Amino acid sequence: MNTVAEDLLLLLFQPDSGTIAGENTLFYVLGGAVLADLALGEHVRTAPGRMGSVQVEAVEEHPPADPVLRSAWDYVAEKPRSVQTVLAAIGPPLRAPLLDRLVDQGHLRRTSRKVLGLVTVQKLADGGTGHRDRLLADVRAALVDGVEPEPRVAALAALLSGSGTLPQFDPGIPWSTPVIQRAKELEQGNWGAGAASEAVTRTVTATIVNSVVVAAAVRP
Number of domain units in the chain: 1
More confident residue, 216 or 21: 21
Angstrom CA distances, 126 to 3, 144, 160, 179, stand at: 19, 24, 19, 26
Which domain does 140 fall in, by range? 4-218
Residue 27 sits in a domain of what CATH number?
1.10.3630.10
Q: How far apart (Å, rounded) are the C-alpha atoms in residues 164 and 217? A: 9
Q: Against a cut of 0.85, is the pTM above it?
A: yes
CB 56 within 8 A of CB 204: yes
* C-alpha triplet 95, 70, 196: angle, nearest 5°: 95
pLDDT in tens, 176-217: 999 999 999 998 888 776 555 566 677 777 788 888 777 766
Residue 203 identity: T
